[in-house]
Amino acid sequence: MTRLVLTRHGQSQWNLENRFTGWVDVDLTQKGEAEARRGGELLRQAGFEPDLAYTSVLKRAIRTLWLTLEGLDRVWIPVTKDWRLNERHYGGLTGLNKAETAEKHGDEQVRIWRRSFDIAPPPLAETDAYHPRHDARYTSVEPARLPATESLETTLARVEPYFAAEIAPHLAAGKDILISAHGNSLRALLMVLFKVGPDDIMGFEIPTGNPLMIELNGLNPTHAAYLDADRANALPACP
């Protein structure tokens, strides 16, 4: 049996402030750090010993991974950071307060931007300070690949091939893997693993800092559960 654990980063400062974050490099709050440490403790109790770990290039996910691995005493395992595991880019909504944005544009419009599969928020101008072209961590990425906004559909379009090429072969070879990422990049992985369709995926809200342990037969999930049962949300059925 192979095990894959998906962990959404602990609470970030902009989660706390109810702001659209996306690719902005916001740090964890003290609560977020505690959630990450708790995740490591739960994984240790479950006897999880990952062989490899993956994360995005955003510090809230990276630090969540660090704290989780410290709890597992596995800080020595190979860790890969890749921008394709980043959160969805929120374009022109980046940095805005969600409640204030709903007051300005209406609840329904904000719901469409947040919860539709294929509708992205307005794009950022290339001159905007939040555009990833101005961020040193993306200098090796072809500029045309850097988004000015994303929907879940376009997030899936970068997450799925990365998973297939870089992560799935290790799982197929029997390696246990830990992925620390973000709400929407993890939704994309749920779509791939559990064969969830576009009409259903936004119904699954992923809690911060709560490890989701998935047991696999090859690449097919046979069982899945959040380890902190008190903060567990609904999960798709195993296909």
Each residue's pLDDT, cut to its tens digit, for the chain (239 residues) gives 999 999 999 999 999 999 999 999 999 999 999 999 999 999 999 999 999 999 999 999 999 999 999 999 999 999 999 999 999 999 999 999 999 999 888 999 988 998 899 999 999 999 999 999 999 999 999 999 999 999 999 999 999 999 999 999 999 999 999 999 999 999 999 999 999 999 999 889 999 999 999 999 999 999 999 999 999 999 999 98
pLDDT for 142: 96
0.95 exceeded by pTM:
yes
Q: What integer pLDDT is reported at residue 202 of this predicted model?
A: 85
CB 216 within 8 A of CB 11: no
For the chain, the C-alpha Rg in angstroms (whole number) is: 17
Nearest C-alpha neighbor of 93 from the set 161, 142, 22: 22
**Given 87, 131, 150, 182, which residue is catalytic?**
87
Determine the Cα–Cα distance for residues 80 and 191; give it in Å rounded to an integer: 22
Q: Give me 49's structure tokens.
A: 């010993």
The answer to whether 179 and 6 have CB atoms below 8 angstroms apart is: yes
Q: Of residues 9, 89, 131, 182, which has the active-site annotation?
A: 9
The answer to whether residues 126 and 56 touch, using CB atoms and an 8 Å cutoff, is: no
- Check if 87 is active-site: yes
The token duo for 182 is 């973000």
CATH hierarchy code of domain 2-88+151-231: 3.40.50.1240
| Whether 9 is catalytic | yes
